[in-house]
Every structure is written in structure tokens, then in C-alpha cells.
A and B are shown apart, each in its own frame.
Chain A
């Protein structure tokens, strides 16, 4: 049982490049989330999903897109990366049995946009 895994662990992009971050969970969780974390800041929710095929915007959705084609995977896309998107990205999941509740986090993806 690996929990929540994220791919890649680290990436460097040039401004304007695109990339997709992959999150996978093996806990059969309904809900999945993408956060970004900047120095000295808490976790800011980008997008989330309450089930396969559904997505919703979080606090800071601009510049990102997501897809939840399979229950176990949640993809975060950057279509045209900007230096302001340099951050550490965390994926999380929760069971959804009682609404939004305890989330389990992945190890993070460090993204540097030059």
C-alpha cells in the first residue's frame, strides 16, 4: 500500500513550457486535491475532485487545469508555465465517506520555472 504517490519529484521548466504532474492513490479514495506551497505560506488549494470525472476550482486555480479520468489518478496540468508557478505541489486524497475530512498527502513535486 503506497498511499499517495506523485510523479515527478522534481522538474525544471522554461517559461511557456507545459507539463503534467501525476498523482496516484491506492486507497480507493473518492476525493483528491492539488495544493501548492510557497515559502512561509500554508497550503493553497488549486483544484480538487470529489469523484471520477468531476473537478472543481480551489483558491488559486488560474494557470492550471486538472483531470480525473480514473478514480485513482488526478492530473495537474500547466499549459504555459510562468515563474510565479515555481512552488512545491502536493497532492492529497481523502475517503469522502464523511464529506471533506482527513487528507493524506503525497511527498510533493518541486517545480522550478525559469
Chain B
């Protein structure tokens, strides 16, 4: 996950624009990745996942891209809305392994109306 200190990286986006949130994962053996959204005062919510045999996966208004060569994951949100304002976490895992998901430290998305 991202190497950040006490302050989360923040992305400010104009309403209606597209957002791209990035995540550098740490384990080259990881083969399963998830994006979570956490709104203020709530628990994280599953957004979308991708397995390592895919480069891209699309959901409703969201797309996850996986670049295994550089161990990079991104979440693209189309036509960003105020309700998209939240902290976004990536998580990685080795599906055949014996260890739980490893979460990144998160990126705060702030949508400007």
C-alpha cells in the first residue's frame, strides 16, 4: 500500500469530472485486489475487485486497472458526484495463501460542487 504518514493523500475533483485514485501494492505474489470506499463515520464498503489474470474490470461508473509489471492499481470514477467524497482504500491478497487482506492507508477524495 501507499507509504504515507499521519495525513492521507487527498484528491480534489470538480463535480462531473473523472477521478483517478492510485495504489502501489507491495507484494508481487498478490493475485487479488479490492477497492473499498469509506464515508465519514462509517465502515468501509466494497466497491470492486479484480484478479491478477485481468488488467481491467468495470463496474457501475467505476473501473479498476491493474498493472502487475509495476505493481500498480488504480480506481477510476466516471462523472464524479458529491456522494463519491470519501476515503478510498485498496487491499491486496494472495488467494491461495493463508493470510488476510492487506490494506493500504487510503486516499481522500473530495468532490467540489
- A-side residues, CB < 8 A to B, are 4, 33, 39-43, 45, 48, 58, 90, 92, 98-108
Contact = CB atoms under 8 A, between A and B. Distances in A.
5 contacts: A40-B5, A40-B6, A100-B99, A101-B95, A107-B43
Contact of A48 (B44, B46, B100, B103): B100
B93 A101 contact: yes
Contacts, number: 57
A40 B100 contact: no
A52 B86 CA distance: 34
A41 to B, nearest CB: 6
A105 B47 CA distance: 12
A2 to B, nearest CB: 13
Interface string B37-53: 00001111110010000
Nearest to A42: B105
9 closest pairs, A vs B, by CB? A105-B43, A42-B105, A40-B6, A43-B103, A42-B103, A100-B100, A105-B44, A107-B43, A90-B43
Determine chain B's interface SS by DSSP, over half rule: loop
Given A43-B44, A43-B89, A90-B44, 16 more contacts: A39-B6, A40-B6, A40-B8, A40-B105, A41-B105, A42-B1, A42-B103, A98-B95, A99-B93, A100-B93, A100-B99, A100-B100, A101-B32, A101-B93, A103-B101, A107-B42
A6 to B, nearest CB: 8
Contact of A108 (B6, B42, B105): B42
B4 interface: yes
B32 to A, nearest CB: 7
A100 B89 CA distance: 17
Nearest to B7: A40
Nearest to B46: A102
B34 A102 contact: yes
Contacts of A104: 46
